[in-house]
Amino acid sequence: MIIFGSPRRYLQGPDALARLGEEIARLGKTAALVADSHVLALVGPRVRESCAAAGVGLSEITFGGEITHAEVERMAGLCGANPPEVVIAAGGGKTIDAGKFLSGKIKAKLATVPTVASNDSPTSHIIVVYDENHKLTGVEKLAGNPDLVLVDTSVIAKAPAALLSAGIGDAIVKRFEVEQCVGVKGNNVFGGRSPRTALALAHACYDTVRADSVAALAAVKRGEPDEALERLVEATVLMSGLAFESGGLSVCHAMTRGLSAVPGPASALHGHQVAYGLLVQLALEKRDAAFIADIRDFFAQVGLPLSLADLGFAGGADEIATIAELTAQAAHMKHFSRSISAADLVAAIESVEAATPAKKDAAA
């Protein structure tokens, strides 16, 4: 049986925050805005104004910075005996996941308001949980996807370009992961078979990323949204999110298990981790040299990692073995055309690493 999931409603465009209040009013009369101190200062006034105009009672909860079970319990305690009907999670991926976790705990509806386009968390029902030492500990799931996703591209355009680069990385991998999952008839994140719709979205996402990333990054450097940025944000937030949940994941995301366990890469942005994972997956797929060279050239244009060193890695063979062993144990690894061992992953990583100095030599 195929299963496809998605948010109930998606809005995107310049100054979309002005519409937030009326959209929240569709969901409830009271809401809690979850954001870190920076994002509260950035969007708080507009959220307050919009909700007040729509007659929505608003409270605010400052997110502590790391999505742990203890942090979510703390936030739930702040909601008191009469919790809000809606949680508005505003910010980056961790804040949005914290808002998701909170909404599930207090049984509230959920609106996500990304202030960066660094990943596709805003559309999904997946929650990535860490410990106090910032190590990934597991994944939780909401009963359903967000009720509302609202993306103000005027805000996105003023975020650091490195965060959009990470979003590009998170989005570009989906084509290759969904192809692998569909190829082995694996289950998607919802536990069903992947519909052809998800594969089509993954391909559309890839095509958009390749066509619009360079121009969209230029728009972010100017601080002004344009049509290229609008298309890219739709790809990085909406297409990418729908593709991975309903299409399935593979080696690229499995690599986060290993990369998050070693110094350097553990602190890298999620989108940069999975982008490096794509280079490893392509090596495992035995893609031809011209195809890999094309991908690497694109990575260089948009600030994606070409080596472990680009992720801050300063280790050696032992750390690479750790990355490989933990990655091989990840559930997504079964979504591949053949069984992959830790030794296979070490060889693929070594292949990726060997390509970087060769490229520099060629350019010298």
Which residue numbers belong to the known binding site for NAD(+)? Answer: 36, 93-97, 115-118, 124, 130
Annotated binding site for glycerol: 120, 170, 253, 270
Buried-exposed string 77-100: b where 16+ CB fall within 10 A, e elsewhere:
eebeeebbbbbbbbbbbbbbbbbb
* Residue 261, φ and ψ in degrees, nearest 5: -100, 0
| Backbone Cα Rg of the chain | 20
- At 86, the amino acid letter reads V
Cβ contacts of 65 within 8 Å, gap of 6 or more: 36, 94
97 neighbors 124 (Cβ within 8 angstroms): no
Nearest CA-CA partner of 147 in 9, 291, 334: 9
Nearest CA-CA partner of 311 in 169, 196, 160, 117: 169
181 neighbors 245 (Cβ within 8 angstroms): no
Annotated binding site: 36, 93-97, 115-118, 120, 124, 130, 170, 253, 270
Burial of 132 (0-12, 13-18, 19+ CB in 10 A): exposed
Nearest CA-CA partner of 255 in 185, 314, 340, 181: 340
Alpha helices in the chain (DSSP H): 20-25, 37-53, 69-79, 93-106, 153-156, 161-172, 174-183, 196-222, 227-233, 240-247, 251-259, 270-284, 289-302, 317-328, 342-363
In whole angstroms, give the CA distance from residue 360 to residue 364: 6
